[in-house]
Structure 1
């Protein structure tokens, strides 16, 4: 998985009724776009993460 700053991550709920978590990649700590990523979620929480199989990477919008 390769990403750039500004890409969005969508983490699907693993349990019925669990909401999806959406965040923005604000820093890439791996080489050449590889994980780990520092992600800021919509609620303001920031974390260092290695995306798993339940994570979808959405490229940032380019105009």
Structure 2
């Protein structure tokens, strides 16, 4: 998994009724675009994530999160 600052990380819901979570990657902490990533949620909360197999990178630059 490789990402750049401004990409979006989509974490798919694994339980019926749970929606996908979309966060903006604000900093890449690993070498060459690899995890971990510092991410920002729609509500402004920031955290560090190492995405699992239920996650994908959306390489479109994040302007507004859904």
TM-score (norm: length of structure 2): 0.85
**Corresponding residue of 1:9:** 9
**What whole-Å deviation, never above 9, does each CA across 1:4-62 have from its counterpart, x for those lacking one?**
0000011111110112111110001101111100010112221101111111100024x
Identify unmatched segments of 5+ residues in structure 1: none
Aligned length: 61
Report the Cα distance in structure 1 between the residues aligned to 2:48 and 2:10, rounded to whole angstroms: 15
Is residue 2:25 matched to residue 1:25?
A: yes
Identify unmatched segments of 5+ residues in structure 2: 62-66
Give the alignment of 1:29-48 within 5 angstroms: 29-48=29-48
TM-score (norm: length of structure 1): 0.88
